[in-house]
Amino acid sequence: MKIILPPNLPNREKKRRNDYLRSMSQTLSTEQLNRIADHYGTPVYVYHAEKITQQFSRLTEAFASSDSRFFYACKALTNINILKHIRSLGCNVDCSSVNEVHLAVKAGFDPKNILYTSNGIAFSEIEEAAGQGVNINIDSLSNLEKFGRRYGGTYPVGIRLRPNIMAGGNLKISTGHEKSKFGIPVEQLNAILALVEKYDLRIAGLHIHTGSEIRDVEVFMKVADIFFELAPHFKDLVYLDLGGGFKVPYKENETGTDIELLGQKVAEVLNKLQQVYGRRLQAWFEPGKFLVSEAGYFITQVNVLKESATAAFAGVNSGFNHLIRPMFYESYHRITNISNPEGDKKHYAVVGNICETDTFAWDRELNEVREGDFLVFHNAGAYGFEMGSNYNSRYLPAQVLVKDGAHHLIRKRDVFDDLLRNQVEVL
């Protein structure tokens, strides 16, 4: 793919485009993907370890001038091998359920490097997480009071706040607006402070996550402004957690969040906090998609071609049971035909084999598609396999990790026995 840069781009924009071009070097080739498809069959998820490494390096370089910590939001992809690779980079891990906490512990993460933030959960799950000794953010006044009764000031804890900010690429992935279920509304600050005083709670962190696919750095700065106003109320504060939601480029020539600019802005905010309040705080972030999305490929095979008066359909051996994002979020995934990369360009509706409408793309220009060809969905590392199901009693696909040029099976494809594994026959 050739990308031509306009001659008069601002220096920062040129840098971002150049970073994008360099990132293309950390991609798997058509030959590699074809070999993997031939070897393991399809559909199959493929992940590139070196791309994950590159993304984490970009984060650490961008935030080098600030005291920042990164916790991989593992809900994006929880395969134990991915977690181990993330840990090997020196990255921490963010968990959305206590089972993810247990996975992180199994992958070798030290409890002090595990962050647990969940919502709408029974207090017993919070107790289970506390039993592991991990960092905890609490999402409701109800559970904050229960935490105070149980632990008082003996266990430092963070609180997740709802800032009433609308942000994110889609309402379904916007989590900080005034109707969102997430977090304690900031207008309930007095109720929070009353609980802090009543139970001598040690509030170690303030957490706000406004959503996913946030391109505008100013959204994070709005969160920082809220933190600036709230910080004086919490004497034990250690960290300010700005969540995640960095945008990654899904389309050709699209740019994501300007991580370098964000790193610069965060350093300025932390310095200002120290100057005004005499306190040096850490900035915490929870990147998930940013680390693994571009490292993932989903390879499918074309079962049938159909022609109609309105569309040419390419039916593949998958559906929203394997990749639900296009149907759920109307998200865009670049698709390439790796079996016929030099074929003439034609337009297709790429559809699945599920007994529902599972259209991956309408009127998509692809190199000529033939039955048996392999079609690859790019940027499939985040919320692809993780949101998969056995709908229509279809098997979940295999997962493969490519590291140091070698490919490794990290999850076997389902077989029929997997469909019956937890069923109990009583008749």
Residue 341 · residue 367 · CB < 8 Å: yes
pLDDT in the model for residue 2: 34
Residue type, 378: H
Residue whose C-alpha is closest to residue 138's, from 148, 58, 246: 148
The confidence score (pLDDT) of residue 252 equals 84
Which of 368 and 118 is assigned the larger pLDDT? 368
pLDDT at 357 (0 to 100): 87
Rounded-to-integer distance, Cα 272 and Cα 267, Å? 9
The residue type of 39 is H
**pLDDT at res. 13:** 52
Structure tokens at 397: 């696909």
pLDDT tens-digit readout, 56-78: 999 999 999 999 999 999 999 99
Fold that domain 296-394 belongs to in CATH: Lyase, Ornithine Decarboxylase; Chain A, domain 1 (2.40.37)
**Residue 172's pLDDT band (cuts 50, 70, 90):** very low
Q: Contact, 238 vs 204, CB < 8 A?
A: yes
Is-contact 372 341, C-beta < 8 A?
A: no
Distance (Å, whole) CA 95 – CA 91: 13
Query: What are the two backbone dihedrals, phi and then psi, of residue 47, each rounded to the nearest 5 degrees?
Result: -125, 140
22 is annotated as contributing to ligand binding? no
386-403 mean pLDDT: 97
pTM for the model stands at: 0.90
Q: Which pLDDT belongs to residue 166?
A: 39
Q: Lowest-pLDDT range, 51-60, 160-169, 300-309, 348-357?
A: 160-169
- By percentage, how much of the chain surpasses pLDDT 90? 76
**47 annotated ligand binder:** no
Domain ranges of the chain: 50-291, 296-394
Instruction: Name 185's Cβ contacts closer than 8 Å, sequence gap at least 6.
Output: 161, 162, 164, 178
168 known ligand binder:
no
CB under 8 Å to 335, separation ≥6 — which residues?
A: 350, 360, 361, 364, 366, 375, 376, 377, 378
Nearest to 82 by CA among 406, 299, 402: 402
Q: What CA–CA distance (Å, rounded) separates 160 from 253?
A: 35
pLDDT, averaged across the chain: 90
356 assigned to a ligand binding site: yes
Q: Say which residues have a Cβ less than 8 Å from residue 127's Cβ, sequence separation at least 6.
A: 150
The contacts of residue 407 (CB under 8 Å, 6+ apart) are 32, 35, 36, 39, 46, 400, 401
Q: Please give the Cα distance from 61 to 59 (Å, whole number).
A: 5
pLDDT of residue 180: 63
355 is catalytic: yes
What pLDDT is stored for residue 223 in this prediction? 85
- Higher confidence at residue 179 or residue 353? 353
- Tell whether 40 is in a known binding site: no
Query: For position 186, what pLDDT does the model report?
Result: 87
Q: Residue 178 above 60 pLDDT? A: no
Coil, helix or strand at residue 181: coil
Distance between start and end Cα atoms, the chain: 58
Residue of higher predicted confidence among 308 and 408: 408
CATH homologous superfamily, domain 50-291: Alanine racemase (3.20.20.10)
